[in-house]
Amino acid sequence: MVEPNESVCPYCGVGCGIKYDADRESAVGWKGPVNQKGELCPKGAAAWDVVEHEERLTRPLVRVNGTLVEATWEEAFDRIEREFDRIVADHGPDSVFFFTSSNCTNEENYLLQKTARKLGTNNIDNCARLCHSSTVAAMGDRFGAGAMTNSLEDLMEADVYLVTGANPAEQHPVIFRSYLLPALKSGTKLIHVDPRENPTTKAADIHLPVKPGFDIPLLNAMAAVIVEEGLVDEEFVAERTTGFEDLREYLAGIDIDAEADRAGVDPEDLREAARIYGEAGRAAIFTGMGMSQHHCGTDNVQTLINLPLLTGNVGKAGTGVNPLRGQNNVQGAGDVGGLPNVLPGYQQVTDAVARAAVAEVWGFEPPATPGLTEVEATHRFGDEVRAAYVFGENPAVTEPNANHVEAQFEKLDFCVVHDVFPTETAEFADVVLPGSVWAEKSGTVTNTDRQVIRMRQNVAPPGDARTDFDVLREFAQRVAGLDTPETPEGVFDELRAVSPLYAGMSYDGIGTGSQRWPFPEGATEGTAILHTEQFETGSKTAPLRVVEHVDPADPVEDDELVLTTGRVLQHFNSGALTRRSGVLMRMRGEDVLQIHPDDAADRGIEDGDRVRIENDRGTVTVAAEVTPAVRRGTVFTTFHYADPLVNKLTGDALDPTAKIPEYKHSAVRVLVDPAN
Ligand code: SF4
């Protein structure tokens, strides 16, 4: 029996089924397509806390004489329409930028990207830019598709998991508990590459504590072991790849021990890891932001991809390259065109045939020039970018070099923030529009392994707030004269008409299960394992590539340490939602800086001391946790808190291909806070 309130967890990319309980007092799991026993992690279980939270925005706010005051929807939209009209007339459509949301539905993201394109700009991006844009770029280049190659179900058949720069035990806990752990208990081996011991490491057979920024030497050395020890799948290499001779020659010139040393790992451990991976019948890679968030993030993943191509570990069950996606709809936000370079279905905006096909459905042709990416746009605020619409994102906390970001937001002529809480970014808004949370939405989201799952609205947004879908429809009409379908199902049908990846799906077909892309028109089901016969590249083959290491953008002086950041179980991204959960704040109310005992002793730091972390970009203070879990020379904290706002310290050097910032390597000084 279909229950009317089955929805999807608003947090990570696992996509657990979630609903409110009968008393409307808490969130509970339902047996969704991913959490098949109805299990939830602590974040999902606390998701009701944000629905009836006292700080929810319930009415539009408009800035008057420097102060945000309550307004009617009419007043708020009049102001938005007037300012967008003026700015576009004076400066052109590329003077506005849209932050769309990987925390919102496919249909909402679709509406906003279509609005931007009707206005005449491709200036739209979402926080996929900040997490896996480099992974998507590298996988797109090599395989022809930038998403998980395999399904969670078939990945249970792997003989070995190589987990690089990810901590699924904390960051994708239901995947870890329900898919990976059972496999590990049945004998699957786990190699964990991460500068820090964390809950995933506890389940590992081998831990390679790589120095942040030195993944390329490590992965090249692993590839060299695979070639040196005759572990190459020669048939696969001959039939499905190109470039082997060049790579073999390059790897033959590598000093494996020296590269392991450069990466900061034990050469014998590295050799053993390469043997385990290379000898496995089925070896699967999971990759995360430890790999992607570098100014060489695309090259990191390019190097990683050599391993499955050398060993024939693509296109069959229990193999592949599987990026663990962050937010509940970060996959979908890109799928539906919430990116500056692609239309729905990852069709390039520069492709005249694709634009014409989309124009057949839309009635207008989208612009042909790729727009700005998220950080590029922020850097141009006050110059060519004069207005921003920030939908369900909190860039004042999530973008690197936060002091600079704050100064840039001050330069905007006009800023709209559309969100459920008064976020840190809303402090810079001229108009704030109240939004809706998971229980108040209908539509679809697409999880990390390409499953499209439905959300069902069964609660009205509080006060005068409206659903995000309704707000975006009116926004589209007011600023772009765009009439859009009246229901999420209508928008989903339009999405299917313009995106070949979703063409064969249907709302009813998804039901309380899921449908997985690619699902072409006329197919009876989606595709679980990609690239089984050929790659979606022009040549149908995948190139092997020689990739050279480049040093991190931030040079580290003698007295400095490398700051790297990540997530913990209890919080999510900027913390705009999870920091408002009483349960989660009781579990983890404040941040700490993990520092190795030797680095702490060198600085006179004791466990629990308040420490100051500083560099030329900013200063924050936080309590120290002295622990050997982090490697010497590296310190770790999270990016979940507005205080301390760790992104004051991170740099905004960008990967040249994907334009992802180097969050994972910042040079910092750490000292006892004089106010201690
Ligand atoms: Fe939500 Fe992810 Fe936890 Fe599932 S694992 S309950 S999707 S945060």
Cβ(453)–Cβ(445) under 8 Å?
Answer: yes
Q: Give helix then strand counts, H and E, for the chain.
A: 26, 28
Taking the CA atoms of 141, 334, 515 and 173 in sequence, report the sign of the dihedral they define.
Answer: positive
- Bridge partners of 193, per DSSP, are 164, 208
Contacts of 254 (CB under 8 A, 6+ apart): 220, 221, 224
Residue 46 CB less than 6 A away from ligand 1: no
Question: Is the pLDDT score of 1 beyond 50?
Answer: no
Residue 218 CB less than 6 A away from ligand 1: no
Residue 47 CB less than 6 A away from ligand 1: no
Q: What is the pLDDT of residue 23?
A: 76
Residue of 383, 414, 364 lying closest to 85 (CA atoms): 414
Amino acid occupying residue 510: I
**625-660 residue pLDDT tens:** 999 999 999 999 998 887 889 999 999 999 999 999
The fraction of the chain above a pLDDT of 90, given in percent, is 92
Measured CA to CA, the distance from residue 560 to residue 563 in angstroms comes to 9
**Mean pLDDT value of segment 392-398:** 94
Residue 482 CB less than 6 A away from ligand 1: no
**Do 61-129+328-516 and 133-323 share a fold?**
no
Measured CA to CA, the distance from residue 294 to residue 662 in angstroms comes to 4
**237-269 residue pLDDT tens:** 999 999 999 999 999 999 999 999 999 999 999
Residue 188 burial by Cβ neighbours in a 10 Å radius (0-12, 13-18, 19+): buried
Q: What is the pLDDT of residue 585?
A: 87
From 19, 31, 43, 176, give the residue whose CB has the most ligand 1 atoms within 8 Å, as the site to mutate: 43
Measured CA to CA, the distance from residue 176 to residue 76 in angstroms comes to 44
Residue 27 burial by Cβ neighbours in a 10 Å radius (0-12, 13-18, 19+): buried
Q: How far is the CA of 15 from the centre of ligand 1 (A)?
A: 6
**Mean pLDDT value of segment 417-435:** 97
Taking the CA atoms of 641, 646, 652 and 655 in sequence, report the sign of the dihedral they define.
Answer: negative
Residue 16 CB less than 6 A away from ligand 1: yes
**506-548 residue pLDDT tens:** 999 999 999 999 999 999 999 999 999 999 999 999 999 999 9
Residue 14 CB less than 6 A away from ligand 1: yes
Measured CA to CA, the distance from residue 4 to residue 8 in angstroms comes to 13
Residue 567 CB less than 6 A away from ligand 1: no
Element (H, E) at 129: helix 128-131
Measured CA to CA, the distance from residue 306 to residue 302 in angstroms comes to 7
**Mean pLDDT value of segment 90-103:** 97
**257-310 residue pLDDT tens:** 999 999 999 999 999 999 999 999 999 999 999 999 999 999 999 999 999 999
Cis amide leading into 518 (omega within 30): yes
Measured CA to CA, the distance from residue 459 to residue 440 in angstroms comes to 5
Q: Which CATH number fits domain 133-323: 3.40.50.150, 3.40.228.10, 3.90.180.10, 1.10.10.10?
A: 3.40.228.10
Q: Which two tokens stand for residue 85?
A: 């009209």
Measured CA to CA, the distance from residue 384 to residue 22 in angstroms comes to 51
Question: Is the pLDDT score of 62 beyond 50?
Answer: yes
Work out the pLDDT band at 2, boundaries 50, 70, 90. very low
Q: What is the pLDDT of residue 576?
A: 79
**186-225 residue pLDDT tens:** 999 999 999 999 999 999 999 999 999 999 999 999 999 9
User: What is the CATH architecture assignment of 61-129+328-516?
Assistant: 3-Layer(aba) Sandwich (3.40)
Cβ(32)–Cβ(15) under 8 Å?
Answer: yes
Q: What is the pLDDT of residue 71?
A: 98
How wide is the angle at C-alpha 493 spanned by C-alphas 490 and 499, nearest 5°? Answer: 140
Residue 13 CB less than 6 A away from ligand 1: no
Measured CA to CA, the distance from residue 579 to residue 576 in angstroms comes to 6
**CA distances, 619 to each of 428, 564, 672 (Å):** 22, 15, 13
**Atom 4 in ligand 1: which residue has the minimum CA distance?**
16
**Atom 1 in ligand 1: which residue has the minimum CA distance?**
44
Amino acid occupying residue 260: A
Residue 67 burial by Cβ neighbours in a 10 Å radius (0-12, 13-18, 19+): exposed
- CATH code at 7-50: 2.20.25
- Bridge partners of 381, per DSSP, are 385
Look up the ipTM and state it: 1.00
Cβ(664)–Cβ(212) under 8 Å?
Answer: yes
Q: How far is the CA of 174 from the centre of ligand 1 (A)?
A: 6
What beta strand segments (E) does 142-289 contain? 160-164, 189-193, 206-208, 241-242, 283-287
From 36, 40, 181, 578, give the residue whose CB has the most ligand 1 atoms within 8 Å, as the site to mutate: 40
Residue 176 CB less than 6 A away from ligand 1: no
Q: Which two tokens stand for residue 571?
A: 């919080």
Q: What is the pLDDT of residue 571?
A: 85
Q: Which two tokens stand for residue 181?
A: 């752990």
Measured CA to CA, the distance from residue 483 to residue 485 in angstroms comes to 7
Residue 387 CB less than 6 A away from ligand 1: no
**436-469 residue pLDDT tens:** 999 999 999 999 999 999 999 989 999 999 999 9
Q: Could you tell me the residue ranges of all domains in the chain?
A: 7-50, 61-129+328-516, 133-323, 561-672
**585-598 residue pLDDT tens:** 898 888 899 999 99
The fraction of the chain above a pLDDT of 70, given in percent, is 99
Q: DSSP code of 656?
A: T
Cβ(517)–Cβ(468) under 8 Å?
Answer: no
Tell whether pTM > 0.90. yes
Measured CA to CA, the distance from residue 213 to residue 74 in angstroms comes to 50
Ligand 1 atom closest to the Cα of residue 9 is 1
Residue 173 CB less than 6 A away from ligand 1: yes
From 7, 37, 41, 451, give the residue whose CB has the most ligand 1 atoms within 8 Å, as the site to mutate: 41
Q: How far is the CA of 35 from the centre of ligand 1 (A)?
A: 9
Residue of 551, 547, 633, 637 lying closest to 592 (CA atoms): 637
Q: How far is the CA of 43 from the centre of ligand 1 (A)?
A: 6
Q: What is the pLDDT of residue 657?
A: 96
Cβ(409)–Cβ(398) under 8 Å?
Answer: no
Please tell me the chain's helix, strand, coil percentages from 3-state DSSP, rounded to the nearest 5.
35, 20, 45
First to last CA, the chain: 59
Measured CA to CA, the distance from residue 459 to residue 49 in angstroms comes to 14
Measured CA to CA, the distance from residue 664 to residue 292 in angstroms comes to 9
User: What is the CATH architecture assignment of 561-672?
Assistant: Beta Barrel (2.40)
Q: What is the pLDDT of residue 579?
A: 86
Residue 174 CB less than 6 A away from ligand 1: yes
**143-181 residue pLDDT tens:** 999 999 999 999 999 999 999 999 999 999 999 999 999
Q: Which two tokens stand for residue 294?
A: 């570098």
